[in-house]
Structure 1
Amino acid sequence: MREREGVAINESESVTFGSLDRSCGCRADCRTGGAVNDLVVGERTGLIPVASYARTSEDFRRRDGHGVRHQKRINQRTAHEHGCTVVAEYADNGRSASKAGVDRPGFDRLLVDLVRGRTESGLRIEGVVCVADDRLYRRAEDLYRFLAALTCSPGRIYVDPRGVRDPYSREGLSEAVRSLDAAVTETRVRSRRVSDWHWARAMEGVPHSGPRPFGWQEDRISLHPVEAKLVEQAMVDRMSGKAVRAIARDWCEQGVTGTRGGRPNGQTVTQIITAPRVCGYRANRGQLLLVSETGEPVLGQWKPIATPEQWHAVCATISPGSLFMHRGSGSPSLTGRSRAAPRHLGTGFLRCGAKSPDGPVCHGALCAQRGRSKQSPYVYSCRSCGRCSISGPLADAALERLLLADAHFSTALPEATRQRWQSGEMGLEEKRKTLASVFTHCVVRPGAKGKHSWDYSRVQPAWR
């Protein structure tokens, strides 16, 4: 018996599908123990209870989760064709499995329930059904975690459209490894192909893909009559010494919103006025593109807002590590410093709930700052509008109360996770990942002046 990552694996036990009792859809020894709910599915249908998992890497076009829904339907059909029934569904929409550090709450919850052997409602799980292996894993770490959780109890199965696979046998393990190799190769080839495609388009001066840039029309070539003037004036103000936060506040007071509806802040203003596109230059993956024959910058096909001299002057007022060209995937860091890890539980989860004078809620991010009292050594404050702040210990305690109160049935924590949190075994990074699996964010209502008691209800969660 050995343990890794909290999952016990019996190396000496060999299990075959002969140990499955097909009459009830669970292991032959299941009638000797467990809750009554464990046998409900098997007794009524005579099918093996399995968990369905679905995942898509991107959902940026229609944003309706259609890919995950289609996979769930295929999983239902596959389970029925191979004598199984889906008792629980797990999904991760728009989440990559090939990139390290990407949270997949659905996948993590599936592993927890596999180790436990049952769903949160008490239904036994005897296997997993998925449309393809690469939906579950594209990295060796995830393959190990999945197989360890799946095979921690005897008699489990893995089902895909090609049939039923024995995850305990050598052939089943070899098939999983071959699938991993194919997924890794496909990821590398696709990444290189996409990178080359973007570079070739950029060298031709084609506008950036994605949401339209602030200052241009939907065609990404014609200037927006209002936004372009705002950008031009912001560059003039910045060259004269005005702070980007002050420019952002002016835009907020005028009711200006970004191309995706967000309220401008200092970071977004910096990004807009230091982007090479404002003077007509084309960049790719954090690098300004140059014509190989002449060494001159590649010019885009769109109309510029400012001259190259003005753009250089604006960039000179901002530290090199803040330039838009040097942020994002694959971009070099000019400051030589890595981004510091969050030091507080609520960083990145809290949003401003203050209303602006014209009515809409700010929804700006609350950032941790040093406090002025022993009771609140740090506070979370909105840098966008400055009208909302909350004691740091109060906000973190409110998040913990919401998480452990189990008030929302669909996001109830597994008991093992709850115990590890309460016992103090979890570090800050793991706690933040647990919060991310339950909340998308939390809106903080402004406090009442003169009220010194802590009001936990100010923190309103947005559940996943």
Structure 2
Amino acid sequence: MSGELSSGGDVNNLGAGETGGLVPVVAYARTSDDFRQRDGHGVRYQLRIIERTAHQYGCTVVAAYVDNGRSASKVGAARLGFDLLLADLGHGYTDSGHRIAGVVCVADDRLYRRAEDLARFFAALTSWPGRIYVDPQGVRDPYSQEGLLQAVRSLDVAVTETRVRSRRVSDWHWARAAEGVPHSGPRPFGWQEDRLTLHPEEAKLVEQAISDRIAGKAVRAIAADWCDLGVTGTRGGRPNAQTVTQIITAPRVCGYRANRGELLLIPETGQPVHGQWEPIVMPDQWHSVCATFSPGSLYLHRGSGAPRLTGQKRPAPRHLATGFLRCGARRHDGAMCLGALCAQKGRSKTSPYVYSCRSCGRCSISGPLADEALERLVFSEVRGVAKPPQLLRDRWRSGEMGLEEKRKVVASVVTRCIVRPGVKGSASWDHSRVEPLLERPGQAGWSHAEPTGP
């Protein structure tokens, strides 16, 4: 099997000539995580099994779509390989021109673990007649009632497995927390690798920051002081006001143990559970520093699974491309980052705001440039896109259309866009840095008879 494998949906053309009478199928491989070896061995093993399965049932793999280290059960998780697979199934051909007569995979749960993805996959697979679905159990007819019922049964098993696993992991974390065991994951700032012993320099910084904040010093000034000293976080990032706030308001600084955004209490006494690590400050100092912040800024009111107690809804996006952009920079292992690009304040008049990747920090693009590139994608000639009606275009360009409606128009054409890193020192705007992933033709319900010019 030839072609370099890469995470995030790179298509590997595995057949370049005639299929020799074999059924041309495309392969899909996915792993949920690859955080240990980071070498894509899981998807490579799946593709070897897929190649053997295809040969066993008289098929040949003409293209492969890969999502390495991507969850299929989390809502909103990006799976670019899956999106590209659905797009090509809708077109009927791969980018290299091979006809697609079916899909082969090692198991149903590699393709879908949510009902929405099952519906999308079967709609794309059956958009052309005569296709098959192949796995190590045999060949399945996706158009038959039995084929659909088998897919639904597989989905039920996957959903049940996901719930059981999630509950098991949640219970495991709670039991560890109740015993005062430190958090798993990256080393917390202020402690050494054992997560129990204080880091001599970092612990002093945290203690001083807490004292300064209680005395009235701005947290941005504290973050600036840390930057001037050359301090970096445990994952190499530069300190900012948000990270400093979370560090000094984390219950661990006074020895308390929290779990999923709540302090753990001893049932018999109602007192907080103390962790097994050395504290940096006393509990009264921790309470005092927390009192200097609004509830929405506190460590306990942020993060995954934690309640947000501000009583306010999440603010609506203020820029057109917010939520549509993904980082196209390559990580050290060669895989694409795919982190979300978030809007933040810029430093020039031409770019008053920029979209930057918070995951790797190696990709940034001018906000107005990205918004303009997204508008061009909506109204320019792009393969596989049904153009919006003239009325929508006129309203957009006349200024009658608000931001929320514009974002809905963009969402009906573009699922996500990859932003390639720019060239350092380049003064010109390059709209081609924004590369779209497109929905199936006609999915938005627009008429192909509409004019397609810009």
TM-score (norm 2): 0.77
Superposed, which structure 2 residues align to 1:397-412 within 5 Å?
397=372
Aligned to 2:95: 120
Q: Find 2:354's aligned residue among 380, 397, 404.
A: 380
Shift of 1:64: 2.6
Looking at structure 1, the residues matched to 168 and 192 of structure 2 have their Cα atoms a distance apart, in angstroms, of 29
Q: 1:432, CA displacement in angstroms?
A: 7.3
State which of 183, 187, 198 in structure 1 corresponds to 2:158. 183
- Determine the structure 2 residue equivalent to 1:170: 145
Q: Give the match for residue 91 of structure 1.
A: 66
Distance 2:418 2:135 in 1: 31
Partner Cα separation in structure 2 for residue 50 and residue 381 of structure 1: 38
What are the within-5 Å matches in structure 2 for residues 293-442 of structure 1? 293-347=268-322, 367-369=343-345, 379-380=353-354, 392-397=367-372, 415-417=383-385, 419=387, 427-428=406-407, 431=410, 437-439=416-418, 442=421
* 8 Å Cα contact 2:46/2:106 also seen in 1: yes
Judge conservation of contact 2:326–2:418 (CA < 8 Å) in 1.
Answer: no
Equivalences, count: 398
Q: How many Å apart are 1:297 and its aligned residue?
A: 0.3
Q: Alpha-carbon deviation of 1:392?
A: 3.8
1:218–1:372 Cα change, 3 Å = closer
CA distance, structure 1, for counterparts of residue 291 and residue 411 of structure 2: 37
In structure 1, what residue type is equivalent to 2:46?
Q
Deviations 1:256-308 (A, max 9, x none): 11111111211111111111111111000111000001111001111111111
Counterpart in the other structure of 1:456 = 429
Contact persistence 1:443–1:459 (CA under 8 A): no
Aligned partner letter, 1:380:
V
| Distance (Å, rounded) in 2 between the aligned partners of 1:459 and 1:310 | 52
Q: CA deviation at 1:65?
A: 2.5
Native 8 Å contact 1:278 1:305 kept in 2: yes
The letter for the 1-side match of 2:247 is I
Partner of 2:8: none
Q: Retained in 2: the 8 A contact 1:112–1:414?
A: no
Q: Is the 8 A contact 1:443 1:461 kept in 2?
A: no
* 1:77 corresponding residue in structure 2: 52
Of the three residues 54, 78, 81, the one matched with 2:29 is 54
Q: Could you say what secondary structure the match of 2:200 adopts?
A: coil
Amino acid of the residue matched to residue 306 of structure 2?
A: S
Distance 1:210 1:459, change over 3 A: farther
Which stretch shifts more, 279-288 or 240-249? 240-249
1:379·1:390 contact (CA, 8 Å) conserved in 2?
no
Aligned-residue Cα RMSD (Å) equals 3.9
Structure 2: how far apart are the matches of 1:48 and 1:379? 51
Q: Which runs of 5+ in 1 are unaligned?
A: 1-36, 352-364, 407-412, 448-453
3-state SS, counterpart of residue 53 of structure 1 = strand
Return 74-83 or 211-220, whichever deviates more: 74-83
Q: Distance in 1 between matches of 2:420 and 2:16?
A: 37
Match of 1:259 in 2: 234
Quickly say closer, same or farther: Cα 1:340–1:310, change in 2 above 3 A: same
- Does the Cα contact within 8 Å between 2:113 and 2:155 map onto a contact in 1? yes
Q: Structure 1 residues 63, 249: CA separation in 2 closer, same or farther (over 3 Å shift)?
A: farther
TM-score (norm 1): 0.75
SS at match of 1:226: helix
Q: Shift of residue 156 of structure 1?
A: 0.5
Distance change >3 Å, CA 120–CA 368, structure 1 → 2: same
